[in-house]
Amino acid sequence: MNKVIINSPLGFTLIEGDELGISKISVTSNEEELSTIIPDALTTAVTQLEEYFLGKRTHFDFKLNPSGTEFQKKVWKELLKIPFGKTVSYQEITNQLGDPKAIRAVANANGKNPLWIVVPCHRVIGSDGSLTGYAGGLWRKKWLLDHENPVKQQVLF
């Protein structure tokens, strides 16, 4: 398993993976291990994340290989359908999966997403529009949503 730590506007980012795909992208506090050499298997992911943070990329197309249960993978696959700059509620995801009562299980799978930003769990909000929980911290979720949708509605007088 290869790993690299890069700097991003949201802190240090750990990326892990191999020739089968990227298995983990997460926030880390391990700045002393900031990478100077990027393994070949991670080059595309690093480049695409850097482009995302620069506002030059709205989707990712490198191979993913997350570890999780079949249900978690089903939820993560559904998250990949959320368009850039848009949000959906946990209830909407649950309804799309065909079991409106599974909202807690969906929220739990969302919280265990190992592929920060790429599988856009930050685009899932409460039914009332609230940001709700986020493993990376609500300030990061807000930053990501603002980054993806910089044009705010303005009130005209």
Average pLDDT, the chain: 92
Query: Is residue 83 helix, strand or coil?
Result: coil
**Which of 134 and 70 is assigned the larger pLDDT?**
70
**Residues with catalytic function:** 121
Pairing state between β 88-89 and 11-18: unpaired
Taking the C-alpha atoms of 141, 145, 147 and 150 in order, what is their torsion angle to the nearest 10 degrees? Answer: -150
> Cβ neighbours of residue 5 under 8 Å, at least 6 residues apart?
12, 13, 14, 15, 28, 30, 31, 33, 34, 35
Structure token pair of residue 3: 């790993």
**Which of 100 and 77 is assigned the larger pLDDT?**
77
Q: Per-domain residue ranges for the chain?
A: 2-53, 70-148
pLDDT of residue 154: 40
pLDDT of residue 157: 43
Say yes or no to pLDDT of 56 above 70. Answer: yes
Structure token pair of residue 87: 């949000």
At 109-150, the pLDDT tens digits run: 999 999 999 999 999 999 898 988 888 899 999 999 999 987
Fold (CATH) for 2-53: Double Stranded RNA Binding Domain (3.30.160)
pLDDT band, residue 151 (cuts 50/70/90): low
The pTM of the full predicted model, rounded to 2 decimals, is 0.90
Say yes or no to pLDDT of 81 above 70. Answer: yes
Q: Looking at domain 70-148, which CATH architecture does it have?
A: Orthogonal Bundle (1.10)
> Cβ neighbours of residue 3 under 8 Å, at least 6 residues apart?
14, 15, 16, 39, 42
Share of the chain above pLDDT 90, in %: 81
Which residue type does 58 have?
T
In whole angstroms, what is the distance from residue 130 CA to residue 133 CA?
Answer: 9
